[in-house]
Structure 1
Amino acid sequence: MRTPTCHGRVITTLVGCTALVLAATGTAQAASHPDLGRQTLAAHDGWASEGTGTTGGSAADADHVFTVTTWDEFRAALTAAAGAPSVIKVKGTIDATSQGCASFEAPGYDFDQYLADYDPAVWGLDAPLTGEQEELRAASADNQKLGIMAFVPADTTIVGVGRDAGIRGASLQIKGVENVIVRNLTIEAPLDCFPAWDPTDGETGAWNSEYDAVVVYGSRHVWVDHNTLTDGRYPDSTLPSYFGEIYQQHDGLLDIVRGADLVTASWNVLADHDKTLMIGNSDSAGADDRDKLRVTLHHNHFDGVVERAPRVRFGKVDAYNNHFTVTAGQKYGYSFGIGIESRLVAEKNSFTLPASVQAGTILKKWKEAPLTASGNYVNGAATDLVAVHNAQYPAEQLASGAGWTPELRTKVNDPRALPGLVGRNAGAGNLC
């Protein structure tokens, strides 16, 4: 609760999500709270504020404001939203997979038979899978794709109502559109019911999954703000192993790919996930991605994630004032991945690392590309991330100097304040 302050004869306070006005008599009267569905991205708040800015569905008329409580209602609202500015308010938690994986199974698909048919001791590791059970697995996967993908139209705001709004098991597709806002939602990553076994992937084969929680694909002017994205009920630690490999059922939390541009992701929590945030999904996609993939990441909390926070190809990415927490004993690869033709600026971020993780691991070199990394703090101490990386990995030297200076920033905080500031205020439920 915010401490009441006196303004003449009126004291204003917030209780949960309800604004109260206390008059001189002490009588409490409800005051209007700002409608999140009508809010727009502030000027100069990252790349998504460039040019025309990002307004989402803030101009929606009464016929294009929808409140949904089920997955079917949500998808129906997305259909009805097409063609006009719209606001979709999610109340409570909606679940795209409430009927379970069995509801997507093609007739005749039998996972036990699948395992028996494609056991490396039977099938080997040299040939791609063929045969009835692989065809039925693929058909089942197609059924799931149709069931859990939701395509967001242009000029739309999707916003959670209150502190407990969320979406489970879905893949939000912001594809080929402009001007979208997603705020105040707890989004549990979809669980791929039918991962594909690829015996030729690596020396021992691997399970490969699909479905990112949120995908920005070829879209412009997108603002993703105050959400919590996580594996939720199904962290990787709970997943089984088959053929000696983890039965991977997760892909990314937030991917920004294929010519996407002018994106701001702010005040989100991205937690307990492996391949977290990818900006540019292929080294061969330069024709689509070159001079695009301009993304701002600020005041996000990357908590217990393994890698890709983010991994960057091609784009001019401004990552400032984010907080990264790595816990003792967790799997950890790196935070910032430096990919082909990327121009990452990573400034005034904070990192909390256990003693087992060296600061040089924060950066990962995938391809030759310069970056700017300044004003960052690790465990409360100012740290030159490029210098400590180059000292730790002498054969993988990184070059300093991204060659551009971000201008679209609002307030920049002292990185030493970020563990508390971001820890308290990032994520769903903190906009009230």
Structure 2
Amino acid sequence: MNPLRWHGHAMRRVTVLTGCTALVLTLTGTTAQAGHPDHHPRDTARQTLPADDGWAAHGTGTTGGAAADAERVYTVSTWAEFKAALAVEGTAPRIVKVKGLIDAVSQGCDAFAEPGYDFDAYLEKYAPETWGRETDLSAEPDDSPEGLRRASAARQDQAIKANVPANTTIIGVGRNAGLKGASLQIKGVDNVIVRNLTFESPVDCFPQWDPTDGAQGNWNSEYDSAVVYGSTHVWLDHNTFTDGEHPDSAAPTYFGMLYQQHDGQLDIVRGADHVTASWNVFTEHDKTILIGNSDSESTAAGDRGHLRTTFHHNLFKNLVERAPRVRFGQVDVYNNHFVAGEDYSYSFGVGKESQLVVEHNAFTLPAGVSPAKVLKRWNDAPLTAAHNRVNGRPADLIAAHNAANPATPLRSGAGWTPTLRGKVLPAWAVPFVVDHGAGAGRLR
């Protein structure tokens, strides 16, 4: 049996036993891509996406800043330096090396507050017993508590977002590099690579109360860790996305609802296309990944035929939902490990005109949680789900869903067959391989 080779160094052979079967793996100290020969440069900052590695390899492929001249290679250790490196003019290739953990909100939320903003005054004015639940706050004047909240939110928005230019590689140096409280905006550009970073989810300092959102109203927040908006050829690899020091479990409750200060970890929206997310960890979050952000015809026109995304060898752990939720796109999800926690709602959201292919994945569910919860139907859209395992056993995810939801069945057959794949592991081998290889700090 030929071993599966991964890019990297410090290789060691490991035999995984399962029943009567043995799988011999050639592991590196940190991994990059299963099933491809070790042909990339030793400098990880100049590595490019291998051929046939998911949708980001389509067409011109994804090279990021691999060809950057020496003067366009930047090593940064502060938020100001990071934004300055991205702001350097021109679209010639660039490499931004992140050293250590960079905190985009080191000064704290108070630094963004508009003079006069007072959260206690906000709670007093918009309490449901006085404001009611029939009128939203959009018409509130600028000098009202809501108006001051809007101004404060705008200041935070400007401070924590960083726009990524075309032909850029952003890569963490070593095992402890990352961005805290930042929102990476990959917007309207082509050819971007992001690797080896820990993203601690940005905390919205000024969530908005919407009394008309649902029967009880809701707190709505902004800021994703990374947004791919109308961009093409994007490779996200060996990153860790987490809520870190600010989990939802620690958030207070106001007006009877969780004071939600997180949005998503990764959004792929507004006609974005040709994206590969590989060997990442997505953990400790609620609304994790959104592909296509609206059912409306105004956005559908730009999303149809786009949003093509591949997820492989990622670890999805202790999430609530949206791993991912999909509209419109041809999305290939293979060789990922999904580990559900106590607040688990679902993994795949089957949305409008989505064309999901879910194959060769492993799911670890707590006792009492049915495989029927893995898929959630938001709209009638066919999908392919085959060769998956739940708690070590083969599982037909569509049949499980349909047995539990006979009034809203899912249809089988996504209508397309993925071809841009590396070596595909059997689902039984996925937990070991992914758990030992995914995430930031495991790339050399």
Query: TM-score range with shorter-chain normalisation?
Result: over 0.9
Q: Which residue of 1 aligns with 2:38?
A: none
Distance 1:138 1:225 in 2: 35
One of 87, 98, 122 as aligned partner of 2:95 = 87
1:14 is displaced (CA, Å) by 8.4
One of 383, 405, 409 as aligned partner of 2:395 = 383
> Could you list the per-position Cα deviations for residues 79-138 of structure 1 after superposition, in whole angstroms to 9, with x for gaps in the alignment?
016421000000000011000000000000011111111111111111122251110000
> Could you list the per-position Cα deviations for residues 186-212 of structure 1 after superposition, in whole angstroms to 9, with x for gaps in the alignment?
001100000000111111111000001
One of 328, 334, 355 as aligned partner of 1:314 = 328
Off by >2 Å, runs of 4+ in structure 1: 1-5, 13-17
One of 358, 367, 381 as aligned partner of 1:355 = 367
1:16 is displaced (CA, Å) by 9.0
Matches within 5 A, 1:275-290: 275-284=287-296, 285-290=299-304
Q: Which residue of 1 aligns with 2:318?
A: 304
One of 247, 256, 274 as aligned partner of 1:244 = 256
> Could you list the per-position Cα deviations for residues 339-385 of structure 1 after superposition, in whole angstroms to 9, with x for gaps in the alignment?
11111000000000011210011000011110000000000000011
Answering whether residue 354 of structure 2 is matched by residue 342 of structure 1, we say yes
1:388 is displaced (CA, Å) by 0.8
Answering whether residue 60 of structure 2 is matched by residue 78 of structure 1, we say no
SS at match of 2:98: strand
Q: Which residue of 2 aligns with 1:180?
A: 192
The structure-2 alpha-carbon separation of the partners of 1:352 and 1:205, relative to structure 1 and needing over 3 Å to count, comes to same
Q: Unaligned regions of 5+ residues in structure 2, if any?
A: 1-8, 14-26, 32-40
Distance 1:82 1:162 in 2: 28
- Output the amino acid matched with 2:83: R
The structure-2 alpha-carbon separation of the partners of 1:259 and 1:3, relative to structure 1 and needing over 3 Å to count, comes to closer
Q: Which residue of 1 aligns with 2:47?
A: 39
Matches within 5 A, 1:189-268: 189-268=201-280
One of 265, 272, 276 as aligned partner of 2:284 = 272
Q: Which residue of 1 aligns with 2:340?
A: 326
Distance 1:418 1:169 in 2: 31
One of 420, 423, 426 as aligned partner of 2:435 = 423
1:35 is displaced (CA, Å) by 1.3
Distance 2:133 2:97 in 1: 48
> Could you list the per-position Cα deviations for residues 121-166 of structure 1 after superposition, in whole angstroms to 9, with x for gaps in the alignment?
1111111222511100000000000000000000000000000000
Distance 2:300 2:71 in 1: 41
Matches within 5 A, 1:43-82: 43-80=51-88, 82=90
TM-score (norm 1): 0.92
Q: Which residue of 2 aligns with 1:27?
A: none
Does the CA-based 8 Å contact 1:258-1:288 persist in structure 2?
yes
Does the CA-based 8 Å contact 2:11-2:29 persist in structure 1?
no
Count of residues in Structure 1 that have an aligned counterpart in Structure 2: 409
Distance 1:244 1:208 in 2: 14
Distance 1:164 1:55 in 2: 24
Distance 1:14 1:406 in 2: 27
* Percent sequence identity over aligned pairs: 62
Q: Which residue of 2 aligns with 1:28?
A: none
Q: Which residue of 1 aligns with 2:23?
A: none
1:286 is displaced (CA, Å) by 1.2
Report the RMSD for the aligned CA atoms in angstroms.
1.7
Distance 1:201 1:52 in 2: 43
> Could you list the per-position Cα deviations for residues 243-279 of structure 1 after superposition, in whole angstroms to 9, with x for gaps in the alignment?
1110000000000000000000000000010000111
Q: Which residue of 1 aligns with 2:386?
A: 374
TM-score (norm 2): 0.90
Does the CA-based 8 Å contact 1:256-1:279 persist in structure 2?
yes
Does the CA-based 8 Å contact 1:64-1:81 persist in structure 2?
no
The structure-2 alpha-carbon separation of the partners of 1:36 and 1:123, relative to structure 1 and needing over 3 Å to count, comes to same
Answering whether residue 127 of structure 2 is matched by residue 115 of structure 1, we say no
Does the CA-based 8 Å contact 2:66-2:94 persist in structure 1?
yes
Distance 1:16 1:270 in 2: 18
1:230 is displaced (CA, Å) by 0.7
Answering whether residue 422 of structure 2 is matched by residue 414 of structure 1, we say no
1:71 is displaced (CA, Å) by 0.2
1:331 is displaced (CA, Å) by 1.0
Does the CA-based 8 Å contact 2:48-2:66 persist in structure 1?
yes
- Output the amino acid matched with 1:397: P
Distance 2:91 2:60 in 1: 19
SS at match of 1:340: coil
Q: Which residue of 2 aligns with 1:396?
A: 408
The structure-2 alpha-carbon separation of the partners of 1:223 and 1:64, relative to structure 1 and needing over 3 Å to count, comes to same
The structure-2 alpha-carbon separation of the partners of 1:157 and 1:393, relative to structure 1 and needing over 3 Å to count, comes to same
